[in-house]
Amino acid sequence: MPIISASNITKKFNSFTAVNSVSLQVEKGEIFGLLGPNGAGKTTFISMLVTMKRPSSGRAEVNGFDVSSDPRGVRKSIGIVFQDQALDEELTAYENLDLHAALYSVPRNEREIRIMEVLKMVELDSRRDDQVKTFSGGMRRRLEIARGLIHYPKVLFLDEPTLGLDPQTRKHIWEYINKLRREHNVTVFLTTHYMEEADTLCDRIAIIDHGKIIMMDTPSGLKDSLGGDTLLLECSSPRKLCSTLKGQECIIDSKPHNGKLTLRLDNGEKKIPMIMQKARDAGVAVSSVSLHKPTLDDVFLHYTGRTIREENISSAESFRMHARARRRMR
């Protein structure tokens, strides 16, 4: 029986549909990733699963509890780490965890043992008595993960767990997440727009765009679904070169985007001379060529028609979007 199950979950804010009839299942002990750009519906979807938002329609269960009819049962079963920090900076690491343990009714005689267990797990036991305001961004993230685990949850929800962290700290967080699954069989449901994060961590990935799931599989399955090699050409006229190459049997797919042309083709390294000649004949100047096996970036481009980076919105736009959503919810 899946530990998370969603069937046709939809969330609307007046006329705006943030999540559109999403269905998925997550097995116990799985690391499941929801991959998509900012504004795709990731946070809204996870907010419904953790009972912070009520679905407009559809049904979902977490650990056997219905998110609409039994939110208390869901909340007892889960830990949550959201994008925005929710730690008290004036309290110590230990005090933050003790407060959270009390809120989740962890028995008093178990709290100290449990607090030290989770602090050790995220390698912060030596900083137990230090105020959080003295912690780095990565240390705070680790403490938030520890806090999410204090009450023995069956499922840990992580919303953009490494957003804003440097690459080295991000990889350390990945190690902790893998350790959770390996040593404690915790099911992890995470949202991210980092391709490498999804590829490295997740057993399965669902790609969400404009509130809809457009593809779901293992990372290798998603990449294998494309077939062939990927050839990226930066050139003076991607659309003209795309039209010129149309009809070539070796080319599986072609997409001009953002000043570049992405081709999927068999035996890519052998076809480069022919493609360069076609470009010269068409008067298209090619400034760079790169060949690689399919990546999750290529998967996203193939199924949405753009790269995830092209979809990432500015912080000002993000602020306005969230402000509009808050006004709708009032």
51/72 Cα distance (integer angstroms)? 9
Helices and strands counted in the chain (H then E): 13, 14
Measured at the CA of 15, the angle between CA 11 and CA 21, to 5 degrees, comes to 30
Residue 109 has pLDDT above 60, yes or no: yes
User: What is 227-293's CATH number?
Assistant: 3.30.70.980
256-297 pLDDT, tens digit each: 988 899 999 988 889 999 999 999 999 999 999 999 888 898
Q: Residue type for 217, please?
A: D
Which residue, among 160, 164, 169, has the nearest Cα to 142 in the 3D structure? 169
30/146 Cα distance (integer angstroms)? 19
State residue 228's pLDDT score.
84
Are the beta carbons of 212 and 42 closer than 8 angstroms? no
Which residues of the chain form CATH 3.30.70.980? 227-293
125/33 Cα distance (integer angstroms)? 29
Are the beta carbons of 118 and 186 closer than 8 angstroms? no
> Would strands 16-26 and 4-13 be described as parallel, antiparallel, or unpaired?
antiparallel
User: What is 4-219's CATH number?
Assistant: 3.40.50.300
294-328 pLDDT, tens digit each: 889 889 888 887 777 654 543 333 434 444 444 44
185-226 pLDDT, tens digit each: 899 999 998 889 999 999 999 999 999 999 999 999 999 888
219/203 Cα distance (integer angstroms)? 7
Which residues of the chain form CATH 3.40.50.300? 4-219
Tokens describing residue 317? 């736009």
4 in helix, strand or coil? strand
State residue 309's pLDDT score.
61
181-192 pLDDT, tens digit each: 888 889 999 999
| Number of other CB atoms surrounding residue 264 within 10 Å | 21
How large a percentage of the chain has pLDDT more than 70? 93
How large a percentage of the chain has pLDDT more than 90? 63
